[in-house]
Amino acid sequence: MLKFNLEKGKGYDYEIIWDLETSVMGQQSKISIAGLYSMQVTNDSAGIKTLSTVYKDMRMNISMPTMTLNIESNKPDTSNGDETDILQKMMGKMFNGIIDKPFIIKADEEGNVIEVTGFESLISSMVDSLAIDEDKKAEVLASMKGQFNENEIKKQFAQVLTIFPNKEVKVGDSWEKTYSIGGQIPSKFVSTYTVKQIEGDHVTMTSKTKISSEKSADIELSGDQDGSIIVDSKTGLTTNAEFKQNMQVNTSGMKVEMTGKGKIKGSAQ
């Protein structure tokens, strides 16, 4: 039986890492994003899990032709006052501002994220950590809500949670899952999962995903993603997963090539 079934009253950690490379008109950029999330299952009712979730650590490394940034939520401030260091210091404070601030995720037995609440107050905590005047805070807050919101959380956790058929499976079985995300580039993900191996409580699956832009989007997106996922069948915990992604974005006559590698590690507390 393969379903999302984390146990009520217990805690679980997920580490999600994405390394992305972008090419625009011959200019190369790299970004690495890592987050450590801790979840407590506070309720289980009618197949809906309520997960009290906090960020325990956040890291972002950016390498662009114009600058390099290394931002860590738990890194001491070592800025020397130049423009890059000031930006790095500000973003480090913002990352620190959301550590251990809880928000709620509700998900069903297929791993569909039904609801995310409390994230707006978390973003407010992030912006409040900055030593800037109120008018500037309002401006930054509006910008952050456009980048960090319910849709972004759903996107981050879709590859961890939205993978389950909610039925018994055997080696060779396949099923399809579809989900959409909003944000700056509204996108649709259609994934086919296939069971490759079952050893005890561990189920190994492959995933093949087609990525496309929603019809309403102004930006054209296309791509694919291949993955390998190991799940604990008792709880639905993704213990290990790796993904490779290739995408193209076309906007205003300009083509952006994107490649990515992702890793997920899950563990019971």
Asked whether 172 and 188 are in contact (CB, 8 A), the reply is no
Rounded CA-CA distance 247/261 in Å is: 12
Q: Indicate whether 86 belongs to any domain.
A: yes
Q: What is the CATH number of the domain that holds 85?
A: 2.30.230
Q: Indicate whether 178 belongs to any domain.
A: yes
Rounded CA-CA distance 34/18 in Å is: 6
Tens digit of each residue's pLDDT (9 = 90 or more) over 199-233: 999 999 999 999 998 776 678 889 999 999 999 99
pLDDT of residue 50: 97
Q: Indicate whether 192 belongs to any domain.
A: yes
The count of other CB atoms within 10 Å of the CB of residue 207 is 18
Q: Indicate whether 221 belongs to any domain.
A: yes
Q: Indicate whether 6 belongs to any domain.
A: no
| CA distance from start to end of the chain | 23
Q: What are the structure tokens assigned to 141, written together?
A: 């807050």
Rounded CA-CA distance 87/172 in Å is: 50
> Which residues touch 119 (CB under 8 Å, ≥6 apart)?
103, 148, 149, 150, 153
Q: Indicate whether 64 belongs to any domain.
A: yes
Number of independent structural domains in the chain? 1
Chain centre distance of CA 238: 14
* Overall average pLDDT of the 39-64 stretch: 94
The better pLDDT of the pair 133, 83 is held by: 133
pTM: 0.86
Beta bridge pairs of residue 199: 202
Rounded CA-CA distance 245/261 in Å is: 6
What's the domain range around 81?
Answer: 11-268
Tens digit of each residue's pLDDT (9 = 90 or more) over 168-195: 999 999 999 998 876 667 788 999 999 9
Q: Indicate whether 239 belongs to any domain.
A: yes
Beta bridge pairs of residue 217: none
Rounded CA-CA distance 119/246 in Å is: 30
Say whether 83 sits in a helix, a strand or coil.
helix
Q: Indicate whether 29 belongs to any domain.
A: yes
